[in-house]
A and B are shown apart, each in its own frame.
Chain A
Amino acid sequence: MASLPIRRRIAGPLFVALMTAGLTAGRADAQAAAKKDYTPADADFMQMMIMHHAQAVVMSDWAATHGARPDVLVLCQRIALSQRDEITLMQHWLEARGLSAPDPLRMNTPHAGPVVDSSPMHMPGMDMGPDPMLMDGMLTPAQMRALDAARGVAFDRLYLTGMIKHHEGALKMVAALFATPGGGQQPELSGYAADIDAGQRAEIGRMQAMLQTLPTSTSPTR
């Protein structure tokens, strides 16, 4: 699975301008704070995490129609709701700084029917955009199709296995952000990244325990 520490092309001219300005954290200057209180790694993190979250939402939304076990369904409902809200939060953070905010689920534009990927990657359920790449822990299009084809216990197993990996990828992205010079110091981002780390770590624990209660074959009680 491709692991990309920095995504280069997204922010465009503004991004380049900020890079050349040698910008890091500029909180001291209150007037300018709104414009230059982040590092390139901060912006990359938010843009990449939107794509990462979008896939988690697509996976979780399938639970209702794919025969997920009730406790798995509740977990999926909360992951979908939480991560949709977080996509909105990240989009607002980027927009407030004049940065481009990906909208892979078309949450901000009216559309009919399922979202179709405009990229050659053909990722189910989301638009990977003009610069498609898989972040840490993301499922490949083939893995996504396998999950979409699964039902009942098979869905539960693929979902939990995939989402644990997906969450572990998010933890790696958080760690990578904090390992960059000056990364993750903008206060909203600092709190948000710490929250991803704490929240998804706890969810990994829940999913591991759920995985352990799945029968190996389809049980007569289902």
Chain B
Amino acid sequence: MTRRPHLLTRRAVQALWTLALTAAPLALATTARAQSDTTDPRAHLKAGLYDAGVAAKGMELVAHRNKPDVFHPNDPGGLTYANSDLAFGGHYVYQGNFSGIQVWDVADPANPTLASVTQCFTEQGDVSVYGHLLFVSAENTGSRLDCGAQGVDQTVSKERMIGVRIFDVADPTHPKQVADVETCRGSHTHTVVPDPADKGVVYVYVSGLAPVRPRAEMASCEVGDLGDPNSALFRIEVIRVPLAHPEQAKIVSSARIFGNLTAPPTHGLAYADTANGAGRRGRQFTPRVPAGTSAADSATIVRLFNGWIEARRGDPKTEAALRDSLDKLGMKMPEPMPRGLGGPSQCHDITVYPAVGLAGGACSGYGLLLDIRNPEHPKRIADVADSNFAFWHSATFSNDGSKVLFSDEWGGGTQAKCRATDPKDWGADAIFSISHGKLIHRGYYKMPAAQTVNENCVAHNGSLVPVPGRDIMVQAWYQGGVSVFDFTDAAHPKEIAYFDRGPNDSTKLVLGGFWSGYWYNGYIYGSEIARGLDVFKLTPTADLTQNEIDAANLVHYDLLNVQDQPKIVWPAAFPVARAYLDQLERDHGLSADRIGAIRDALASAEGMMGAKRSAALNKLAAGLAGDAKSASDAWRVKLLTACVRGMAKKA
């Protein structure tokens, strides 16, 4: 360079150069990507609708119910009668279906009985329950006000109903349709958010992916770009529902959370790939990835670069000079992004975690972190993208709110994406830590067993399993079965239990498998698309002890909508203390002798009553406080100490 470029200081040029180079060729020397395990017992199961082979570890099936006859249980394939998501209230399980709703009475979870079945074509029938109201998502443009299955022939029709259907389920044996809230893009999923200030009100966040309805059908439905405040795109709709008057439910705000997502982050490559390529960087160009940037994340670099340019746009003179400067550097001035194209115009699903005031939005090519302290007006506070992700599907927070797990529904759920040849970080979960309002990538989890080409399989819906001291999740993988895994160490998630059946059919892909797998009051409920409803319980293994299972089973929900994530609080009780002890034994967090002595002390205290028990537990707690000083897992010893103190108080 012979002369100082316009507008750019030498330092800026160097920074830019560095940015441009690191943004580009972090080489991938055709690394062998990790692949699924073909030796796993789940990899070669016999096919069959109701007589398929089964492989299970750490969990067992306690009940199975076929779909009721109106949903054609012997005619699988296709999605017309597909089971979808689950919601829980009291001893009832509400199971969605593309053609209606089923209510199961699970007062005895080993013996579910069908309380009612309602026929109503409503793809995809995502369900939530709150009080006496049941909310059901309708997105298919053929969904009708009258619930009929004949579709809607006209492009503009008053018979179409896409949005949220509301049923009164005060009597679960007789659900009554009480209201429909229509939206411009229907409702693919929805999320119930209780009003923190008014017990009589809930909000429903709607995520809809249907094309925008014609204005002749619904006057408020405009198609506009990201800058258009009236556009039905680039927003989530917020419905306010007065519980006593569901007929007054209506859209009260449209949260525009997609604005100013600067240039879409590309995250060119997976961490492993970029690390692999790191050795090929030119020596004079030391990459300057800012502290806190997700590992070798070229997304951040591209974003910085483009953000720097964008900040200088607007004045034609400035732009021309900048273009000239970049040209001299052999770089091209990026074209301004068409507003909105390429960025998300909608979320697929949103999980709210009111206890920490956050929501995770899984939105097309992005994962978003939202502030929902004012539930009527959610605000975006962070966003992340990942080139290994095709389609951000859903979010689950760790109970302490320090982590969020996003799933990628690569292929939309109807395709085989767990074949031995499919990369382990595609169609998987990505786990992020949340630090100062930023999302930092830590690791991936994918159900590890290879599946056949006849099994649709990819990450899908799951919930936390409330084992104290660990982050454990159960998750549905369609025909890949149900997988339970520990993501306490976000960089090294590990499977601890599973259940899987062989494919529906040995000759072709017949759609089916688990839509969702959720823990509810001691059992795991699986919604099987083709086969019906399954109920499981966890069984002890080296990775999960009976004490840990017993401790989880102390947690009781009166109501559970998994996308409205509840804060789990464990009682101070013997199974919880013993669960922590088992964990200390597993991770060698305390010496074996000491663990043995503490177990004896707990057993002895359990045999006492009242003040005597209290004194014994206080004595134990004092000893544990001392242990915490030298234990290699001091964090867990402190959890145990607090638990024993709490038990002493209750005694």
- Chain A positions within 8 Å of B, measured between CB atoms, are 24-28, 30, 33-34, 37, 69-71, 73-75, 78, 81-82, 85-86, 89, 92, 96, 174-175, 178-182, 184-185, 187-188, 190-192, 194-195, 197-199, 201-210, 212-217, 219, 221-222
Interface residues of B in 80-116 (CB under 8 A from A): 80, 82, 98-99
Which residues on the B side are within 8 Å of A194 (C-beta)?
139, 188, 209-210
Chain B residues near A191: list those with CB within 8 A: 79, 123-124, 412-414
Q: Quick one: given A71-B268, A221-B282, are A27 and B412 in contact (CB under 8 Å)? A: no
Given contacts A28-B149, A92-B509, A182-B153, contact A86 B415 (CB under 8 A): yes
A178-B391 contact, Cβ under 8 Å, with A201-B344, A209-B302: no
B302-333 interface code vs A (CB 8 A; 1 in, 0 out) = 10011000000000000000000001001110
State the CA gap A25–B331 with chains docked (Å). 53
Q: Interface of chain A, helix or strand or loop or mixed?
A: helix
How many pairs of residues, A versus B, come closer than 8 Å at their CB atoms? 204
The answer to whether A74 touches B269, judged by C-beta atoms less than 8 angstroms apart, is: yes
C-alpha gap A24/B179 in the complex (Å): 28
Q: Which residue of B lies closest to A85 (CB)?
A: B415
Contact B82–A217 (Cβ < 8 Å): no
User: Among the listed B23, B148, B266, B273, which residue makes an inter-chain contact with A206, where contact means beta carbons less than 8 Å apart?
Assistant: B266
The 8 Å CB contact of B153, one of A24, A27, A34, A214, is A24
Which residues of chain A come closer than 8 Å to B337, judged between CB atoms? 208
CA distance A182 to B150 in the complex (A): 10
- A114 vs B522: C-alpha distance when bound (angstroms): 57
Residue of A nearest to B338 (CB): A208
| Pairs of residues from A and B, 5 with the lowest C-beta to C-beta distance, nearest first | A25-B151, A202-B365, A205-B342, A71-B268, A185-B142
Interface residues on B, range: 35 or more
Interface residues in B359-417 (C-beta closer than 8 Å to A):
364-366, 385, 387, 390-391, 410-417
The reply to whether the CB of B589 lies closer than 8 angstroms to some CB of chain A is no
Inter-chain contacts of A208 with B (CB < 8 A) = 263-264, 337, 342
Q: Which residues on the B side are within 8 Å of A71 (C-beta)?
A: 25-26, 28, 266, 268-269, 298, 387
Partner of B155, one of A179, A190, A214: A179
Contact B331 A185 (CB under 8 A): no
Question: Is B426 at the interface (CB under 8 A from chain A)?
Answer: yes
| B13-39 contact mask (Cβ, 8 Å, vs A): 1 or 0 | 000000011011111100000000000
- With a cutoff of 8 Å between Cβ atoms, the chain B residues found around residue A178 in the complex are 141, 210-211
Contacts of A198 in B (CB 8 A): 209, 346, 348, 364, 391
Which residues of B have CB within 8 Å of A210?
266, 268
B211 touches A175 (CB 8 A): yes
12 extra A-B contacts, CB within 8 A, seeds A187-B140, A202-B264: A70-B26, A75-B387, A85-B416, A178-B210, A179-B211, A188-B78, A190-B141, A191-B414, A206-B266, A206-B342, A207-B342, A209-B306
**Given A187-B80, A187-B98, A212-B335, do A25 and B142 touch, yes or no (CB 8 Å)?**
yes
- Are B25 and A33 in contact (CB-based, < 8 A)? no
- Cβ contact of A74, chosen from B211, B268, B410, cutoff 8 A: B268
Q: Is B121 an interface residue (CB 8 A)?
A: yes
Mark out the residues of chain B between 594 and 644 whose CB falls within 8 Å of any chain A CB in the assembled complex.
none
- Asked if B227 lies at the interface with its beta carbon under 8 angstroms from chain A, I say no
Per the bound structure, the CA–CA distance linking A188 and B75 in Å amounts to 15
Can you report 16 residue pairs joining A to B where beta carbons are below 8 Å apart?
A: A24-B151, A25-B151, A28-B148, A70-B277, A73-B28, A96-B77, A187-B80, A190-B140, A198-B348, A199-B412, A201-B344, A207-B342, A213-B266, A215-B24, A216-B332, A221-B25
Q: In the docked arrangement, what's the CA distance between A187 and B210, Å?
A: 12
Query: Contact string, B55-91, partner A, CB cutoff 8 A, digits 1/0?
Result: 0000000000000000010010111101000000000
Tell me if B9 counts as interface (CB < 8 A to partner A).
no
Q: Are B330 and A206 in contact (CB under 8 A)?
A: no
Q: Which residues of A contact B142 (CB under 8 A)?
A: 25, 27, 182, 185, 190
Residue of B nearest to A177 (CB): B211
Contact partner, A27, options B150, B306, B331, Cβ 8 Å: B150
Q: From the candidates A26, A78, A184, name the one contacting B150 in the complex (CB within 8 A).
A: A26
Decide if B199 is an interface residue (CB 8 Å cutoff): no
A192 close to B141 (CB less than 8 A):
no
Q: Evaluate contact between A215 and B28: CB separation under 8 angstroms.
A: no
- What residues on B are CB-neighbors of A221 within 8 Å? 21, 24-25, 282, 285
Docked complex Cα distance between A214 and B414 (Å): 35
User: In the bound complex, what is the Cα–Cα distance between A180 and B214 (angstroms)?
Assistant: 12
Are A70 and B78 in touch, CB under 8 angstroms? no
Contacts of A187 on B, CB cut-off 8 Å? 78-80, 82, 98, 123, 140
Which residue of the partner chain, among B152, B264, B508, contacts A182 with CB atoms under 8 Å? B152
Chain A residues with Cβ below 8 Å from B77 are 96
* Contact bitstring B495-516, A, C-beta under 8 A = 1, else 0: 0000000000000110100000
Contacts of A24 in B (CB 8 A): 151, 153
Contact with A along B250-270 (1 / 0, CB 8 A): 000000000000011110111
Q: Which of B141, B330, B410, B415 contacts A216 (CB 8 A)?
A: B330
A70 touches B269 (CB 8 A): yes
> Chain A residues with Cβ under 8 A from B210's Cβ?
178, 194
Which one of B82, B211, B511 has the highest number of Cβ atoms from chain A below 10 Å of its Cβ? Answer: B211
Q: Is the CB of A89 within 8 A of B344?
A: no
Chain A residues near B468 (CB, 8 Å)?
Answer: none
B302 CB contact (under 8 Å) in A179, A207, A212: A212
B309 nearest CB neighbor, chain A only: A212
Option from B152, B285, B335 in Cβ contact (under 8 Å) with A185: B152
**Nearest residue, chain A, Cβ from B508:** A92
Asked if B277 and A215 sit within 8 Å, CB to CB, the answer is no
Contact check, A201 vs B412: say whether CB atoms are below 8 A apart.
no
A184 to chain B, nearest CB (A): 6
Give Cα distance in the complex from A59 to B452, angstroms.
27
In the complex, whether B451 has a CB less than 8 A from a CB of chain A is no
Are the CB atoms of B27 and A70 closer together than 8 Å? yes
Contact A27 B79, beta carbon cutoff 8 Å = no
Give chain A residues whose Cβ lies under 8 Å from the Cβ of B264. 202, 205-206, 208-209
Closest to A198 in B: B364
Chain B residue at smallest Cβ distance from A79: B390
- Cα–Cα distance between A85 and B454 once the two chains are bound (Å): 12
Q: Whole-angstrom distance from the CB of B589 to the nearest CB of chain A?
A: 40
Decide yes or no: A199 and B151 within 8 Å by CB, A192-B412, A212-B332 being known contacts.
no
